[in-house]
Amino acid sequence: MERREVGVGLVGYKFMGRAHSNAYRQVARFFEVDPAPRMTAICGRDEAGVREAADSLGWESYETDYHRLVRRDDVGLVDVVTPGNTHREIVLAALEAGKHVICEKPLANNLAEAREMVLAARDAGTVNMVCFNYRRAPAVQLAKRLLEEGRLGEVRHWRATYLQDFIMDPSFPLIWRLKKEVSGSGALGDIGAHIIDLAQFLVGPIAEVVGMTETFIRERPLEEASAGGGLSASGGTQTGEVTVDDAAAFLARFEGGAMGTFEATRFAAGRRNQNSFEVNGSKGSLAFDLERMNELEVFFTEDEPDVQGFRTVNVTEPDHPYAGAWWPPGHILGYEHTFVHTIKDLMDGIKAGVSPAPTFEDGYRCQAVLEAVEKSAESREWIKPEYGGV
């Protein structure tokens, strides 16, 4: 029987554009999906750039205006991989046109926008999802399974850090990620959002937070200036103000009673992309580090005392989540597979007519925590995330 297809329209074609394109190319070759994604059209504002991207990434056609893309009859799913300040408008247009939608994280640049998007998605009745792809590393899914089965007992601690170092050089330019009006926030919303989502996925809702943020380098060369050597009137390189946090840290209390610590920074020298967490429960612990993403460290108090200790599970066995669709045991997976798994579950969701987690509502709950941390950093008080209103 011929497999059904859903036409995909992808908005944006750089970092996440490449990651999502790769997922659409691979998913039906390794997983049984029905419908299978058809790489119908990619969209960007620069015609030469988007034409080149369509060619190199494997898209059948391109558009230079997302309004046209979302109205196309051959597009059933719109995928948004643009900076945060554009998520709301593109998502609302896609929902209005009756399309399924997947949107990159964080869902929006603030809670009010996220709320609007949740309500619009509910009205549209189509399938929606936020791309918190790290949920779909097999080792993270195994962690979820162990927690759900109660193998760690009562959870007492969540300890997560997401560490990068790519903007430590003061001559690094003022890219969109450093402008609040484009990105919403800095390390907090970009990488902190991932560990908030993982925490709510694995341990449950966050009840309250107290946090701090810091911007270490407050002026940076403008992108054009650093690329072209532009000069200001006074003869120096043109600079602009950094309006987001370089680093954020916060404490959290979970509704289930666990304590949480979170740290997100772009100033951890040598830590390129270390997304790691540890959970400690009454019966054991587990630990994950994206830079060793095939492994899950586990410790169980029920083991005989003379052999107790952390052990490392290579999460590549056929019965581990997603792993069986790929290679023989021990033949490891990488970053890009988390996106393939996301698209696999999205296709299953479209088939069933059910939005796969993390849904826009999950994205909203993450946004509520981001906002609570920002408020707390300002007021220096404990703040409860505002989950209501959707």
Ligand X SMILES: NC(=O)c1ccc[n+]([C@@H]2O[C@H](COP(=O)([O-])OP(=O)(O)OC[C@H]3O[C@@H](n4cnc5c(N)ncnc54)[C@H](O)[C@@H]3O)[C@@H](O)[C@H]2O)c1
Binding stretches for ligand X (CB under 6 A): 11-17, 43-45, 66, 81-84, 86, 104-105, 131, 133, 190
* Least distance CB 294 / ligand X (angstroms): 18
Looking at beta carbons only, is 9 or 12 nearer to ligand X?
A: 12
Amino acid at the residue 336: E
Identity of the residue, 26 or 86, whose beta carbon is nearer to ligand X in the bound complex? 86
| Exposure letters 344-362 (e unless 16+ CB within 10 A, then b) | bbbbbbbeeeebbebbbbb
As measured in angstroms, the least distance from the Cβ of 377 to ligand X is 20
Q: Which amino acid is at 173?
A: P
Q: How far apart are CA 273 and CA 44, in angstroms?
A: 27
Q: Between 13 and 360, whose beta carbon lies closer to ligand X?
A: 13
**CA–CA distance, 284 with 302 (Å, rounded to integer):** 8
Kindly state the smallest distance separating residue 43's Cβ from ligand X, in Å: 6
Question: Which CB atom, from 52 or from 317, has the smaller least distance to ligand X?
Answer: 52
**Phi/psi at 193 (5° precision):** -60, -35
Nearer to ligand X, 87 or 299 (CB): 87
In the complex, residue closest to ligand X by CB: 14
- DSSP label of 355: P
Pair 242, 174: CB distance under 8 Å: yes
Closest contact distance (angstroms) between CB of 255 and ligand X is 26
Task: Please state the closest distance from residue 317 (CB atom) to ligand X, in A.
Answer: 25
Q: 341 — phi, psi (to 5°)?
A: -65, -35
DSSP string, 46-102: -HHHHHHHHHHHT-SEEES-HHHHHH-TT--EEEE-S-GGGHHHHHHHHHHTT-EEE
Give the shortest CB-338-to-ligand X separation in angstroms: 8
Which residue, 8 or 81, has its beta carbon nearer to ligand X?
81
Structure tokens at 119: 């309500």
The least CB distance from residue 335 to ligand X, in Å, is 8
In terms of C-beta density within 10 A (0-12 exposed, 13-18 middle, 19 or more buried), how is residue 111 classed?
A: buried
121 vs 258, which CB is nearer to ligand X?
121
